Structure 1
Amino acid sequence: MLRLAVVLLILATPSHANVPRADVPRVVVDIPPIHSLVAQVMEGVGTPELILPPGLSPHDVALRPSDASALAQADLVVWIGPELSRAFARSVDALAQGRVLGLLEVPDTVLLGYRQGAVFSELGGGDEHDHDHDQGSRDPHAWLDPVNAALWLGAIAQALAQIDPTNAEAYTENAAAAAVRLGTLQGAIDTRIIPLRGQPFVVFHDAYHYFEARFEIEAAGAIALGDGGAPGPRRLVEIGQAAQDLGVTCVFVEPQFNAGYVGATLPREGARVGVIDPLGFALTPGPQLYETLLTGMVASFEQCLGAE
């Protein structure tokens, strides 16, 4: 009789979805830089799960069964948006049952379009912030602008507070403290970038427009397409000629892409190759990754453009 009473009591208890949340929400994030921002907001409360770990390009990735399960069970999915990874977008659309926060859709986010061609038409230009690009032309690498990152901290805190009001104050306080740190970081980077402005350089793919525009250090061109697609022979010839004409002395490669194309872009003796990484390829995921990522990028600029 006692066992039967326990079973009946369990069946009569309201489901988990109908009672106030007492546990920390399960939060799933797409890429390491965004995971870092979410981890800062959740610090002291919980830890978000990272779907696309360092070392993988989000432009071309297949989810594991465990990733699909995490998406399906998540209370909140925080991601850049469909432009960064169509494969991930399809999985979000098919599997996500909880709330989905697309950061490119957060109001007042600075949005830029992909630049056209291998050689960017106006060196030093392209820093006009456009909020009206259609989804096919929007450059999704918006996390490389710390102003966007600071804005998103508040949006992340708000989304978390709505599904976990018990910890709303902690989320809000964490977001505010992280935004202050990002403001300090932005000022420090700007000071270090000033001596490097005006020097022509080429990037491997057009992933750095937000960083370049924010800190007024625009690239002359990109070897590969903005989505990481392999460049064709015509594009390589075009960027190689431009590098020679503009006196490019530095080409930046990325650890997750084939650097074999760089030789065609460095016709000058003494030209240097630097490494920059928009995702944190060699960094440990966590709250510190975002600041470490941007600090490492500016150090790479200094080493390649500031070298004698």
Structure 2
Amino acid sequence: MIFAPPPLREGGTAGRLGYYDRGRTPYFASRLEPRLSYCLCVPRDYDEQGSEALDLVVLVHGTARWAETYRNGFADFAERERVIILAPLFPAGMSTPGELSSYKLIRHGGIAYDLVLLDMVAEVAERYRLRSQRFLLHGFSGGGHFAHRFLFIHPERLLGVSIGAPGIVTLLDPDHDFWVGVRNFETVFGKRLDIDAMRHVPVHMVIGGEDKETWEIRLTPQDSWWMAGAEGLAEANRLERLAALRQNLESHGIGVRQDIVPGVGHDGRAMVAAVQDWFATVLANARKG
């Protein structure tokens, strides 16, 4: 797919930054799919005429769409670690009125959310100097859905991925179709599943130690998410489902670090410190090379 150059924006032009292009930016519409948008956090002293290249961190919101909250929670991290934060906003109701979950499946309702995100990344790369085409990705809850499935599809673009408490997980299971497994992966996503590339991506999992409620994620044959093979995790809570995903990845030679935050339920804000600590470690290791 060939993408057009980003449009000129008030207060700045392509190659020249304006007042709203540093710090905590407004939301910008995606040039590829204007119904989706993103905001950034850019170190305030970033010099467009300088030589410093920054790393990119992508934060994917959960079902409540707190994109700006997550972005703001990483503002100090952006300054300290010299990164740009990109927080996409994938609105509810994109495929049908009132629906909440289309982005979690990556491809749904005629929208390729992964490709839109990659074009958002391309827009950022055209406006700022990035150190690498690879970026760090974190998502919690609904964002955790997105993050681990994005790992399956685009491991070559990831510097590392942090998967936070997804409600429903896809396993590297060749005997079931997507979303349960990956039997029809190439048909759905138009590319081959590359498990060897996944082995080269640092993986982090994070969840609260009391994240045991199942009211939102319980699966029955009457649910829209139900499909053959879902029975195995139908009654499991998020802790059990994340454990199943970890075991599945590790059985394929994919290393995982897991943090369980004690005394915390399903609250992405309580995961931020653990995610930032892990991100800092990955960045330090990557920058040594």
TM-score in terms of structure 2 length = 0.28
Higher strand share: 2
TM-score in terms of structure 1 length = 0.27
Higher helix share: 1
